[in-house]
A and B are shown apart, each in its own frame.
Chain A
Amino acid sequence: MTPRRPNPIAGFLAARLHLHRDDMLRTAVVLALSIIAAFAVHPLGEVASALVFVLGITIAGALSGLAAALIAALAAFLVHNFYLTEPALTFRIATGGDIAPLVVFNLCALVSGVLAGQLKDHAQAARSSNQQLQSLLALSQQLQSAIRLPDVVATVERAIHDILGARAALFRFEGETLRSLASVEAHWQAFAERIAAQAGPSGENGLVGRRLQPANSPDAVLVLESLRRERVAPAFIDAVANMVTLALERAALAEQITERQAVARAEQLKTALLASVSHDFRTPLTAISASASSLIAYGEKLDPETSAGLLRGIVEECERLNRYTANLLEMSRLEAGGVAQPLQILGAAEMVAAALHRVRPRAGGRQMLLQAPAPDLLVAANAALFELVLINILDNAILYSEEDARVEIAIFAEQGACRIDIADSGQGIPEAALRRVFERFYRAGRSEAAGRGNGLGLAIAKGFVEALGGTIEATVPGLDGRGTRITIRLPLAEASKA
C-alpha cells in the first residue's frame, strides 16, 4: 500500500506556472507600458529600449510570477526584434546580437519569477501557519468552556467544523468497545478502531485520526475529515489531539469532583440524621423514663398534682416521639419520590382546623385564629401528610414565640391556587436564614427553643408542597412587625375551580 505522492518537480512547476486572470491582466498592462516606454526611448539606441524591456519583465515577474514573466519575455523579444532592431519590421535571428535579447529576457524572467514565487510561498506559509495558530487558539478557547463530557464532545465536533472546516468525531472506550459519542458512518467507526489498535496509518481516504490517552479517563480516538483541499500538517493534528485530551481530562476531573461532592453531601445528611435521631429520640425518652421511674420509685411521696403532671408529660413526650417518627418516615418517603398515593380531595380550612385542634394543647396562652372563606377551598393531597405539614408549621409558630404571641392562619383563593398564610408574632427568622430553614436538619439560630425543633418540619413541608406542584416560602415579618409568615400555595382541585 503506497500512497500516491505527487512528483515534486511537476508540483513545483504546476504551482509556479499557475496563472490567474488578475495576473494576466497585470502582465498585459506592464507589457503595454514597457512597449510604449521602449518606443519612447528608442531614439537613444537599441540598448536603451532593451533595458526598458528588462525592467518591464522583472516587474511582471515580481508582480505575477514565473509564467507571467516568461510570457512577457517572449512578447518583449518579439516586439524588440520586429520593431526596434535593424532591420525594422522583420524577424531575424541570425547574429549573436539577435539572440542575446531573447536569452537575457528569459533569464531575467526566470530569476524574477522564481524569486517572486518563493516570496509568495513564504508569505503563504506564514499566513497558513498563522491561521492554524489562530484555529488552535479558537479551539482551545471553545474547549475551555466545555466542562462536562457531553459538552466536550459537542464542542470538539462543532468547533473543529467551524474553525477547520473539517468534520470531526470523538470515540471513547467503554470497557473493551470503542463507542462513538455521536452518530457516525460505519467507515469512520472502522477507521477509529484501526487507529485505536494502531494497526494502520494515521490517515487514509481523507480521514486522519489520533489515539488520545487522557490520564484519568478511558482512552479515546479523535477522527477528523479534511473538507478543504489543503493538506493539514501532522503536527497540527497532534496539537488538536493534545488539546482534546486535556479537555477530556478536565471533564473527567470535573465529574470526579461532582461525584465526591454528592458523596460528601450524602455523608453530611447521614451525620445530620444520626445527630437528629440521637437527640430527638433521646430527649423525649429521657423525660419519659425519668417520669415513669419517678412514679414507680416515689409514687406515694409525690403529691397528686405532681403525679398527674408526670403522667401528662409522659403522654406529651410519647406524642412528640410519634410525631418525630412520622416526620422521619415521611421525609424518607418524600425522598424516595413524591407524595404517597392516592390523593384525596381535602378542604383546606378543615385540615387547618384539625391541625389547630392537635396543637392547641401545646399552645399555652397563644391566640390562634383561623380565617377561611366559605365554601371551603379544595385541594388534592395526602391527608396524613398534609396534616403533618400543617402541624409542623403551627408547632414552629408555637415553639419560636412567647406565651402571649398570636398566630393567624388565613386561607384564600389566589390565581387558581389555594393560599394558606400562617403568620405569628414570635421571634422571627434572620433574613439570611429565610431560605435555609427549608433545608433538612437546619435549625434557625441556636436559641433555647431550637433544641425542641427537629429540623425536619419545614423540609417536609417543602417536599410535600412541591410534590403537589405548589410553592412554599418563608418571609418576615409575620404579625405586628415581627415573627414569621409561612405562605403555602397549592393548586386548587377541579371541583373548587368550577
Chain B
Amino acid sequence: MTNILLVDDEPALIAVLKPVLGAEGYSVATASGGAAALRMAEDIKPEVVLLDLGLPDIDGKDVIRALRATSTVPIIVISARHQEGEKIAALDNGADDYVNKPFEIGELMARIRAAIRRSSSLENAPGTYRSGPLEIDFPARRVSLAGDTVKLSPKEYDLLRTLALSAGQVVTHKRLLAVGWGSDTADSQYLRVYIGLLRQKIEEDPSDPRLLVTEPGVGYRLASAS
C-alpha cells in the first residue's frame, strides 16, 4: 500500500482528502504544519508528499528544501492560483508537480499516479513511452505517431524525451531550457518556438494540443503514459 503524507492546515480539506485517498487504496498520514511534516516524513517514509504551500509555521519552500536534503520522495504542491511566484519557486526548490486550488479529485489522483510512476521509473529506466497514438522508443531514439516514424531534430527529441520521462508531470521552462540550450536563463521564446514545432509533428490539431499541454507561466506537461 502506498503511503501518502498530506500536509495541510485546512481541516476541511483534510476531512475530504483523507477518506477519498483511502478509498483509492492509499494509506494517508496527515500533518498540519511544516515541522510536523518533516518529523512524519522521517518516521513513515511516504511515497508521495502532498504539500499545501500556505503553512502556518514554516514557509513551504523551506519544507521542500528540508525534505529534498534527505530524500527524493515526489512532492506535489497544492497552491492557490495567486501564489504563482511561490509555485515556481517551489518547483525550482525541488517540488515535482503542483495542483491549483480548487481542484477536482481526478486531477489530484492523476498527479499522484504520475508522481509514483516517475519515481519508480527512476529506479528502472523505462524503455518506451506510449500515450494514445504517440510512442517513444528511448534506446532507439525513435518517435512514432500511430506507427509512422516522426522525424525530429536532436533538440526536439531532447525536449520530448525530458517531457516523456516526467510524463503526466509539469516540467518547468527552466528545466527545458537547460536541456535544450544548456542554460536555464536562455530566452524562453526559443522554447515556445520548439514546442510549437513539436506540436506540429505530434498533435492531431496543433492549435488544440491534447498531448503536450501548456501550464501557463510555469512550463509544459506531456500526457501520462497510457
Interface, chain A (partner B; CB < 8 A):
274-275, 278-279, 282-291, 293-294, 297-298, 301-303, 306, 309-310, 313, 316-317, 320, 446-448, 450-452
Contacts and interface: CB of A to CB of B under 8 A. Distances in A.
Nearest to B109: A297
B16 A291 contact: yes
A303 B32 CA distance: 25
B19 A451 contact: no
B78 to A, nearest CB: 8
B12 A287 contact: yes
A302 B20 contact: yes
Given A297-B105, A310-B19, 6 more contacts: A286-B13, A286-B102, A298-B105, A306-B22, A447-B56, A451-B54
A306 B16 CA distance: 9
Contact of B19 (A309, A316, A446): A309
B23 A287 contact: no
12 contacts: A275-B82, A283-B10, A283-B101, A293-B104, A294-B16, A294-B105, A297-B104, A298-B105, A306-B19, A306-B20, A309-B15, A448-B32
A297 B103 CA distance: 13
B-side binding surface: helix, strand, loop or mixed?
A: helix
B24 A313 contact: no
B59 to A, nearest CB: 12
Nearest to B19: A306
Given A279-B54, A282-B101, A283-B101, A448 B20 contact: no
Contacts of B33: 448
Contacts of B82: 274-275, 278
Interface residues of B, number: 29
A227 B115 CA distance: 92
B58 to A, nearest CB: 11
Of A286, A291, A309, A447, most buried by chain B (CB within 10 Å of CB) is: A286
Contacts of B106: 293, 297
A286 B82 CA distance: 14
B23 A301 contact: yes
B108 interface: yes
A316 to B, nearest CB: 7
Contacts of B19: 302, 306, 309-310
B9 interface: yes
B38 interface: no
B204 to A, nearest CB: 27
Contacts of B23: 298, 301-303, 306
A292 to B, nearest CB: 8
B10 A289 contact: no
B56 A446 contact: yes
Interface of B: 9-13, 15-17, 19-20, 22-24, 32-33, 54, 56-57, 80-82, 101-106, 108-109
Of A279, A313, A451, most buried by chain B (CB within 10 Å of CB) is: A451
A320 B57 CA distance: 24
Given A294-B20, A298-B20, A310-B19, A448 B9 contact: yes
B15 A313 contact: yes
A313 B12 contact: yes
Q: Which 10 pairs of residues, A with B, have the shortest CB-CB distance? A: A289-B102, A293-B104, A287-B12, A286-B102, A306-B19, A294-B20, A293-B105, A286-B101, A285-B102, A294-B105
Contact of B12 (A275, A284, A303, A306): A284
Contacts of A309: 15, 19
A397 B108 CA distance: 34
Contacts of B10: 283, 286-287, 451-452
B108 to A, nearest CB: 7
A290 B54 contact: no
Given A289-B103, A306-B23, A278 B80 contact: yes
B103 A286 contact: yes
Contacts of A313: 12, 15-16
Contacts of B11: 452
A282 B80 contact: yes
A421 to B, nearest CB: 29
A313 B109 CA distance: 20
A434 B163 CA distance: 53
B94 to A, nearest CB: 24
Of B11, B23, B56, B57, most buried by chain A (CB within 10 Å of CB) is: B23
Given A278-B82, A298-B105, A290 B56 contact: no
A298 B57 CA distance: 34
Contacts of B54: 279, 451
A299 to B, nearest CB: 10
A322 to B, nearest CB: 14
A281 to B, nearest CB: 9
B12 A317 contact: yes
Contacts of A297: 104-106, 109
A315 B102 CA distance: 16
Nearest to A287: B12
A451 B55 CA distance: 9
Given A279-B54, A448-B56, A298 B24 contact: yes
A286 B106 CA distance: 13
